[in-house]
Amino acid sequence: LNMSSSVMNISEHLSCPLGFGHYNAVDICILETVVIVLLTFLIIAGNLTVIFVFHCAPLLHHYTTSYFIQTMAYADLFVGVSCLVPTLSLLHYSTGVHESLTCQVFGYIISVLKSVSMACLACISVDRYLAITKPLSYNQLVTPCRLRICIILIWIYSCLIFLPSFFGWGKPGYHGDIFEWCATSWLTNAYFTGFIVCLLYAPAAFVICFTYFHIFKICRQHTKEINDRRARFPSHEVDAAGETGHGPDRRYAMVLFRITSVFYMLWLPYIIYFLLESSRVLENPALSFLTTWLAISNSFCNCVIYSLSNSV
C-alpha cells in the first residue's frame, strides 16, 4: 500500500507526456521511468567503454579524428550522467522551490552537450576532407595544437549559443519534459528556434553533406583511375599502388559517415518536432517524449557503430 501511494504521488506531481488520462497515468510513468533508466545505463556504460579503449590503446591516438571521437564520447557520457536528473526525479520526486532553475539548467546542459557532438561530427568530416583532398600538406594543416584549439572553440560556441535561453528568450530545445514547470511554463519560441537552426543545425548539416559528397566523389574517381591502370598495365606495381591509395581513407570515411547518418536519422524527428512546436503548428506530448529520447539514444548508438564498423 505504501508503494502504491508513493507511485500515485509521483504521478500526481510529474508531467507524464505519454499519459492519456488519470486511469493509466501510473503505468505510463513507470514506462517512462524504465525507458529513461535503461537509456541512462546504456549511455554511461557504452561511453565509459569507448573512453577506456582509447586510454588502453595508444595506437588509436595516431588518428587525428580520435581527438573529436573522444570529445564526443565525453560529451555523450555527460549526457548519460545528466539523464540521472530526470531518472532520480521520476524515482523519487521532491517538490523543491528551485524546480524552474533545475529544469533550465538540465535543458541547457543537454542542449550544449548534443551541440558539441554535432559540431564534432562536422569537424570530423572536414578533417577527412582535408586528408583526402590535401594528403601532402595534411600534416602541416592539421596539428595536435590546432585540434585542441578547435575542440575548445567547439565547447565555447556550444555554451554561448544556448545561453539566451536563461534570459527568457525561448527554450533550448529539450522536450518530453519530466518536470511540470518545464512542460507548462517554459515554452518554445519560434525566433529562438530559428536562431538555433541557422547557427547550429543548418551549418553543421551543410558542412557534412558538402564534405562527404566530395570525399566519395574523389574516392570513386581514384578507384576508377586505378582500375583503368590495372586494365592497361596488369602488374604488381599497379596493385600495390591501388592498395596504398585512398582505400583505407575511404573505409575510414565510411565508418564516420555511418556514425553521422545515424546521428541525423535519430535527431531529424526531434528537430522537425522542435520546429513545429515552436511555430505552434503541432503540440503532442507523446511525440515530444518519443522524439526527445530517440535523439538522446544516439549517445549510445555511436558506441555500437564503432564496434560493428571497425574491429580496430
Asked whether residue 11 is assigned to any structural domain, the reply reads no
Whichever domain contains 168, its CATH number is 1.20.1070.10
State in Å, rounded, how far the first CA of the chain is from the last one: 53
Name which of 93-107, 187-201, 295-309 the model is least confident about: 93-107
What cell numbers appear for 178 in the block?
A: 519530466
The stretch 216-239 carries a mean pLDDT of 71
The stretch 258-275 carries a mean pLDDT of 83
Does position 183 have pLDDT exceeding 60, yes or no?
Answer: yes
| 135: DSSP letter | T
Q: How far apart are CA 19 and CA 27, in angstroms?
A: 9
Count of structural domains, the chain:
1
| Cβ proximity of 299 and 78 under 8 Å | no
- Which pLDDT score is estimated for 292? 82
Asked whether residue 253 is assigned to any structural domain, the reply reads yes
**112-126, 146-160, 174-188, 196-210 — which one is most confidently predicted on average?**
146-160
80 to 24, 48, 95, 99, 118: CA distances (angstroms): 28, 10, 23, 20, 16
Does position 149 have pLDDT exceeding 90, yes or no?
Answer: yes
Does position 277 have pLDDT exceeding 90, yes or no?
Answer: no
Asked whether residue 12 is assigned to any structural domain, the reply reads no
Does position 203 have pLDDT exceeding 70, yes or no?
Answer: yes
- Which pLDDT score is estimated for 296? 83
Does position 173 have pLDDT exceeding 60, yes or no?
Answer: yes
Q: How far apart are CA 74 and CA 109, in angstroms?
A: 13
Asked whether residue 124 is assigned to any structural domain, the reply reads yes
| Cβ proximity of 15 and 178 under 8 Å | yes
Asked whether residue 30 is assigned to any structural domain, the reply reads yes
Does position 157 have pLDDT exceeding 90, yes or no?
Answer: yes
More confident call, 4 vs 194: 194
| Cβ proximity of 105 and 162 under 8 Å | no
DSSP codes joined into one string, 166-206: GGTS---S--S-SSHHHHHT----HHHHHHHIIIIIHHHHH
Asked whether residue 71 is assigned to any structural domain, the reply reads yes
Name which of 63-72, 79-88, 117-126 the model is least confident about: 79-88
Name which of 145-149, 154-158, 211-215, 302-306 the model is least confident about: 302-306
Asked whether residue 166 is assigned to any structural domain, the reply reads yes
Domain range spanning residue 184?
A: 22-228+246-310
Asked whether residue 8 is assigned to any structural domain, the reply reads no
